A and B are shown apart, each in its own frame.
Chain A
Amino acid sequence: MNDRPMSRNMTRRQFLARSGALGAVGISLPALLAACGGSDSAGGAASTTVSFDNWPLYIDPTEDSALGTVDRFAEATGITMNYTEGYNDNNEYFAKIQPLLGNGKTIEADIIAPTFWMAGRLISLGWAEKLPLADIPNMANITDGFVNPPWDPTGEYSMPWQAGMAGIAYNIDVTGRELNSVEELFNPEFKGKIGMLTEMRDTIGLIAMGLGIDPSTIASFDDAAPAFEKLAKAKADGQIRQFTGNDYTDDLVSGNFAACIGWSGDVLQLGKDSPNIRFVIPEEGGTRWADVMMLPKGVKNSANAAKWMNFCFDPVQAALITQYVQYLSPVKGVREELAKINPELADNQLLFPDDATSARLRAFATLTEDVEAKFDEEFSAITGA
């Protein structure tokens, strides 16, 4: 008898509660299984660990028979590396560490992997720790172009991790033909099927090259204004489908993008499984960049970090990393090592550009703080977020 009136009174919340109950029970079981399944490699005294927060898919993993670099490092030195892939976007990462480093605290990671311009910013803010260079004898293997680079003029704060170039990536199944010009990104034929990067220096840099502006000489906003205008117009016209970070590869492979601005190594990696994906340094030229290894201010395991950097600058190790990530290695002797294990890659222009190719690449100029602020503001106004 009592049941009827009660059910009439059932409210929306009871409902949510009931459905919630189902959901929670449903969720908890796999979770329990998960808790049993995983095993953490944490533990050990502080002096035998080091952590590296890197970009995703940026190191060779341990697969079947072959050990990845992280595991080879542990085997060689006895140091456990806590390797994470939390570096997804320079601005996003900066926003995360800013409240800590800006307040004089340190962050969890011992090594981080900012792109060159972000490295310059961290150094000038005083948020980076000097490297114990004496403990990194393999320093001597840094290729000439990366000795005392513009973002770290004294070379005391950073070691390059990988370098690469930005150019045009395209899906030939969609375009139906080879592309060779920045102009193609603005071709109405591909309306709504073009991707651009949220990384301002690559997107604006490449468009500038297309307009005949050398991004390495840009000093004020006016210098780059035509590139911004061109981008803004393309966005308003619906030419651009999305501004993306690393995720452009997804849209490229699935055919949502006909063409986009992309990074050389990504596209080479993709090419293994999807031969219809191509990468070209356009005739107007491409941009060059580097991601670096750096110690945040107050770093805990500086000595172990030095051991890691030293390990990575051994050409034998570096060649194995290069074989997987397929970016430009900043380590001398990698080409020779790679020739032994993968001769085809050792001859690839996108990994080891010859002088003629290198001459067509430009790195974005270092911007002063005020100018950079203006660039970022204008760029984020266009990306529309």
Chain B
Amino acid sequence: MRKRSKVARWALNIFAGMGLLYLFTPIIFIVAFSFNKPKGNFNIAWQEFTLENWMHPFAEKSLTHALRVSLEIAAVSTIISTVLGSLIAIALSRYKFRGSGGINIFLILPLTTPEIVLGSSLATLFLGQNFIEFGFTTIVIAHIMFQVSFVALTVRARIRGFDWTLEQAAQDLGASPMRTFMKVTLPLILPGILAASLLAFALSIDDFIITFFNSGNVVTFPLQIYGAARVRIPPQINVLASMILFLSVAVLLSGTIAGMRKEAAKTSAAKPKRHSLTKSG
């Protein structure tokens, strides 16, 4: 019996390994082809190894420009959506109030609506009005729309269990509400807010479908790739994608190492932490 379960155990591990391989297949391909020297306009057949693309990652002007546009849009929309979403999250976890159940359900609605419906419906709102033209502004508005819910729910999940009586204590000691918020509340909920805003930023950078319906003449990074796919796939696309990938790996590794170190420090010192809230994975 032991033997059989051991076999089963290995079968499962191998299956999981194959799952990982499946996940990485296109990634390996993307990285490999960032070193390819393509013949013609499409970087799709292996020709020869070159470092040329990595030496000139920003040689494709339109691609670089599109990336910059995407970053600007992500920055603006993330700042606004983080403020709006965090306020909602604070309201939901700090107070018990009439209508909070309805708000909870309402917040999930944008997440359970297919992107194509969000994109096309927003486009119908912008069509035939004379206030805003399709472009940068409409993309930012669209991104904030789907980011707000994500931020609100993420922040709420992160600050669940926050001890709000601390605020009361600070105010009893004579701090003004503003000072209380800045000195007590904000530092404690900030990690959650930061995590949420990073998520929002990532969502904005990679959004294609909603942006596609509301972009007008503005070309974001995903839209540029979509356009390029029809006529020309320069290896710089692979280079930029690989860069993002490698940096993610670096961040992940350093995060894991930091986490392990913290773990080690904690077991040796065995000191209770002040607030469970400051914990990060």
Contacts and interface: CB of A to CB of B under 8 A. Distances in A.
Task: Find out whether A and B make contact in their complex, taking CB atoms under 8 A apart as touching.
Answer: yes
A20 B195 contact: yes
B270 to A, nearest CB: 9
A76 interface: no
A249 to B, nearest CB: 7
Given A20-B195, A22-B255, A35-B68, A250 B44 contact: yes
B117 to A, nearest CB: 17
B202 A14 contact: no
Interface in A235-283: 244-247, 249-250, 253-254, 270, 272-274
A140 interface: no
B58 A21 contact: no
A273 B216 contact: no
A40 to B, nearest CB: 7
Nearest to A98: B127
Contacts of A30: 57, 67, 240, 243-244, 247
Given A33-B57, A57-B231, A86-B217, A27 B157 contact: no
B168 interface: no
A11 interface: yes
A2 interface: yes
A273 B231 contact: no
Contacts of B173: none
B148 interface: no
A101 B49 CA distance: 48
Query: Which of B42, B153, B199, B272 has the most chain A CB within a 10 Å cutoff?
Result: B199
A31 B198 contact: no
Contacts of B65: 38, 40
Interface in B5-61: 39-42, 44-45, 57-58, 61
Interface in B203-247: 203, 205, 216-217, 219, 227, 229-233, 240, 243-245, 247
Query: Which of A19, A24, A85, A247 has the most chain B CB within a 10 Å cutoff?
Result: A24
A13 interface: yes
B42 A250 contact: yes
Contacts of B44: 250, 253-254
Query: Which of B160, B240, B244, B272 has the most chain A CB within a 10 Å cutoff?
Result: B244
A254 B45 contact: yes
Nearest to B130: A103
Range of interface residues on chain A?
Answer: 35 or more
B128 interface: yes
Report whether over half of chain B's contact residues are helix, strand or loop; otherwise say mixed: helix
Contact of A31 (B68, B219, B245): B68
A6 interface: yes
Contacts of A249: 41-42, 231
Nearest to A105: B133
A26 interface: yes
B185 interface: no
A120 to B, nearest CB: 23
A247 B231 CA distance: 5
Nearest to B203: A20
A246 B275 CA distance: 58
Contacts of B272: 1-2
Contact of B219 (A19, A86, A272, A274): A86
Contacts of B140: none
Contacts of B257: none
Contacts of B121: none
17 contacts: A3-B273, A9-B161, A13-B157, A14-B158, A16-B199, A24-B205, A25-B198, A25-B251, A27-B205, A30-B240, A34-B68, A37-B57, A96-B217, A99-B134, A246-B230, A246-B231, A247-B231
